[in-house]
Amino acid sequence: MIQVSLSTLLLIGMAVGIALLGIVWIAAVVRQRRFEKRAREDLVSCRICGNIYENLQKQNLTACPKCGSLNEALKPKPI
């Protein structure tokens, strides 16, 4: 049996708790970034008026709802 003092046991418990909190936080950040990247892939930026709209039909060529010009479904540059 390993002899551990109460303060050492508390310290180990707090360290494990902080490590678990860090893992949960990193997992949440990774999930959020993945979600944002997926949401950005559906956006189309109009070459004529600069309007950014969703490509709901997942087509290669879409018409801008604002000015009506055809645009290729390319990823807009991050802001």
The binding site for Zn ion (CB under 5 A) comprises 46, 48-49, 51, 64, 66-67
Closest by CA to 39, choosing from 31, 49, 47, 27, is 31
For Zn ion, give the closer residue by CB, 46 or 62.
Answer: 46
Cα–Cα distance, 35 to 58 (Å, whole number): 17
For Zn ion, give the closer residue by CB, 10 or 61.
Answer: 61
CB of 65 to Zn ion, least distance (A): 8
For Zn ion, give the closer residue by CB, 49 or 61.
Answer: 49
Contact between 45 and 67 (Cβ < 8 Å): no
